[in-house]
Amino acid sequence: MITVGILGEVDTMGDGRWVEVGPGVLARRYEGLDLTVGLVIGEGACLVVDTRGDERQGAEFAAAVREVTPHPWTVVLTHAHYDHAHGLAAFLPCEAWAHPGCRAAMASDGRQALPQLLVTDTAELNVGGRAVLLRHFGPAHTDHDLVVHVPDCDVVFAGDLLEHAPGGSFTTESFGPDTSLGTWHGAVERILALDPAVVVPGHGEPAGPEFAGLCRDQLIALAALRREIEAGKLALEEAQARSPLPADVTLAALA
């Protein structure tokens, strides 16, 4: 049985607030970093999507989950960046899933709380009778991003493959040394192929599939600009002027 309409009974805590994005599927939004994490509720079990940035933040999120459901949880980490993964210790002991690259990155960062269950391509979890699919769509925001797909209500938690900034999409923080700009748009295309009704970004408000399509198109444009720069056909300043994103975001993407 899928839990519906539970938010009226939930008291928000701290700067966090719940948004119901599907029957028994919640996103929790935080003012800090405009972060979005998630929760999928089944019959007698639940799945936590990302854990916030440290043990204190993780404990807050764990307590917020307990205000919604008493069910035992499983955790999935969309990627290893601290704001999504470093609160894991607050949820342990439990089953914790991630891509092997996520575990390796967390271990190299000195983390003691690590995911033990690894998925390199696709895994299907049974969350209290609900099928939840974990999918890796190739190098993108990192080399180990996982997407969490809840097919019975067409919701996709995209992690930082998608970011929904106020008034736009990506920010300067979206792009880093472990980003694969040339293949990122392909990962978003595979999200769109799931035909989601709702996509939940790692930062920002949940949105419809048209927002994912916008992000894909912007990533395609950025990758094309980088190729022209690398071929000596375009100066960085010209690329910034032609980019669909602000100059500072374009610079971060093309650096």
- 243-255, pLDDT tens digit by residue? 999 999 999 999 8
- State the average pLDDT over residues 8-19: 64
Backbone angles phi, psi at 79, to 5 degrees: -170, 175
Residue-level pLDDT at 14? 57
- State the average pLDDT over residues 180-197: 98
- State the average pLDDT over residues 62-91: 98
On whether the pTM is more than 0.75, the answer is yes
Residue-level pLDDT at 15? 85
pLDDT at residue 165 above 80? yes
For the chain, what is the mean pLDDT? 95
- Residue 4's pLDDT band, with cuts at 50, 70 and 90, is very low
pLDDT at residue 9 above 80? no
- State the average pLDDT over residues 12-34: 91
pLDDT at residue 191 above 70? yes
Backbone region of residue 92 per phi and psi (left: phi > 0; alpha: psi in -120 to 50; beta: other values): beta
Residue-level pLDDT at 255? 87
255 vs 226 pLDDT, higher one? 226
Residue-level pLDDT at 159? 98
Rounded Cα distance between 211 and 216, Å, is: 9
- State the average pLDDT over residues 118-142: 98
- Residue 123's pLDDT band, with cuts at 50, 70 and 90, is very high
Domains, the chain, in order of start with CATH, read: 7-254 (3.60.15.10)
Percent with pLDDT over 90 in the chain: 93
